[in-house]
Structure formats: C-alpha cells, structure tokens
Amino acid sequence: MSATTLSTDLRADARIPLRAHVRHTGALVRRNLLWIRQDPESMFDAVLFPIVFTLLFVYVFGGSIGQSLGGGQEAYVQYIVPGLMAMMGMNMAQGVGTGFNQDFNTGVMDRFRSLPIGRGSVLFAKISVEMMRMLIATAILLVVGVLVGFDITHWPGLFAAVGLSAVFGSALMWIFLTLGVVMKNAQSVQAMGFLVLMPLQFGSSIFAPPQSMPGWLQNFTEYNPLSSLADAARGLMVGGPVADDLWMTLGWSVGITAVMAPIAIHKFRTKT
C-alpha cells in the first residue's frame, strides 16, 4: 500500500458529507444492535467476563497479592478493579476482529462495499456497538467490584477512568479490525489476538504490582501501554499519581488510531 492510495481513500471518504456519514453509521449501528436482539447470547461475554474475572482474581489471588500491597484481600480489590477495567477494553477489542472476520466471509459485505457509502462507516458502526458492549461490561464490573468491597472514593475520577479505557479500547479495535479484514478466518484472528494479548496482559501492572518481577520484565511492563492504562485508571479511581500514565495512555491511543485506522479502512476498501 502506498501513501498515495491511502490519501485517495481518505479524500474519497471526505467527499461524503459528514451528516451522510453519521446517517450511514447510524443505520449500520442499528444492524449490529439488531444482531444482539436476535442473538442475546452474544452478550454473554460482556456480562459474564467481568463477574467471573473479578470473583476469580479477588478470591483466588486477592489474599496473597494483597499482602504484598501491605493489606489483604481488601487492598487487592482496590488494586484489581481498575486493572480489570483496562483489561476489559482489550478483550472486547479482540472480539471485534473475530466478529468482523465472520461478517466479511458473507456476501453482505460485498453489498455494503458496492453501495455509495464511506468506507469507514461499516468500521465505525462496528466500533460504536463494541464500545456500548464495553461500557455495559464496565458497569457490571463496577457493580461486582463494589459488591466485593471496592470503595469508590472519587466519582469524577471514575468517569474519567472509564472514558480513558474506552479511548484506549477503541484504538486497539482498529488493530483487531485490520486483523479481521486481512486474515483468512476467524480462528486465526482469535489465535493471533491471543498470542499478542496474553503476554501484554500478564506482563503489565494489571494483575499484580511489577515490583516483584525480574528486572527485564519490569522494563517490559514499564513501557507496556496496558500498565499505563491500568495505573492511570488506578490513580483516577482510588487516588495516586496520574499525570504521566494518563498522557502515556492518551499518546498510545492517538498513535495507534492514527496509524491503524487508515490502514484498516484501506484494507477494507481494497479487500478482494
């Protein structure tokens, strides 16, 4: 892909009035929402994931990791809930790729691409719906968190943290959308996502403070954007330093989106 074709794509989309873009995206969002109504089971992951993970981590690891935090299980709840919030965005983002890939292997994508709509509309719609799922999952996480003892001390910070995870999650979605378009089948998208995500998730400060990790791993976690997101969310929700991690996360989000969104749209446009 050359820079000129990329800019041609963007210019071509720009010729469509913004209002038309919004209308097309809206119509496609409706399509994706109808899917959920038709197949409520597709919401299972968004609903169950936060419940299962919160309970697992709090009750399985909470006691021991909490000790190193200078408390017990209660201390770990304060630590893990913001961390899981960061993780959620990523897991939802991964689902986008597989879902989109399946969608692509049906004839309906050909129809969309032969319609006079912006190439991005189909992708924006998918992302909007996934964001809604992500917010639902986050709300459930917070409810379960509070039930197991999470103490929300700072409401504006809470909303800021939710917003920050959403921004970062949407940036990741562009990566997975690209994978979803480029890769042949949903299984490979999933496998690929798993391979990339597992080390990123566990090699971060999401689940445990990195202090006890070996030096090389600490270096990795330090530059892992998921650590920044988790630490920023922690700072915002339960107090502590925020600024550095906040800027770091926003920087990553903007950077990933700026690079991956045009690539995703281009790959979508030129997929044969």
Rule CB under 8 A: is residue 30 a binding residue for other proteins?
yes
Q: How many residues bind other proteins (CB under 8 A)?
A: 29
Least Cβ distance, residue 106 to other proteins (angstroms): 7
Shortest Cβ 26–other proteins spacing (Å): 8
DSSP H stretches of helix in 15-154: 18-38, 44-56, 62-68, 73-104, 108-113, 119-147
In order of 12, 105, 226, the CA distances from 22 in angstroms are: 16, 25, 31
User: Which tokens hold the place of 35?
Assistant: 């899917």
What is the distance between the alpha carbons of residues 179 and 18, in angstroms, rounded to a whole number?
Answer: 27
Q: Is 184 in the site for other proteins (CB under 8 A)?
A: no
4 or 106: whose CB is closer to other proteins? 106
28 binds other proteins (CB under 8 A): yes
Task: Give the footprint of other proteins on residues 39-78 (CB under 8 A).
Answer: 39
Cβ(207)–Cβ(83) below 8 Å: yes
Using CB under 8 A as the binding rule, the residues of this chain from 196 to 255 that contact other proteins are none
Kindly tell me which residue out of 6, 10, 21, 35 binds other proteins, with binding defined by CB under 8 A: 35
Using CB under 8 A, which of the segments 27-35, 71-79, 84-92, 163-171 binds other proteins?
27-35
Does position 31 bind other proteins by CB under 8 A? yes
Interface mask (CB under 8 A) for other proteins, residues 114-153, using x and -?
xxxx---x--------------------------------
Residue 113 C-beta: closest distance to other proteins, Å: 6
Cα–Cα distances in Å, from 94 out to 57, 85, 99?
21, 15, 9
Does 1 sit near other proteins (CB under 8 A)? no
CA distance 261 to 259: 6
Q: How far is CA 84 from CA 78, 108, 140, in A?
A: 11, 35, 12
- Asked whether the CA dihedral 61, 66, 67, 73 is positive or negative, the reply is negative
Q: If binding is defined by CB under 8 A, does position 107 make contact with other proteins?
A: yes
Query: Rounded CA gap, 86 and 258, in Å?
Result: 21
Chain residues in the site for other proteins (CB under 8 A):
12, 15-16, 20, 23-24, 26-28, 30-31, 34-35, 38-39, 106-108, 110-117, 121, 270, 272
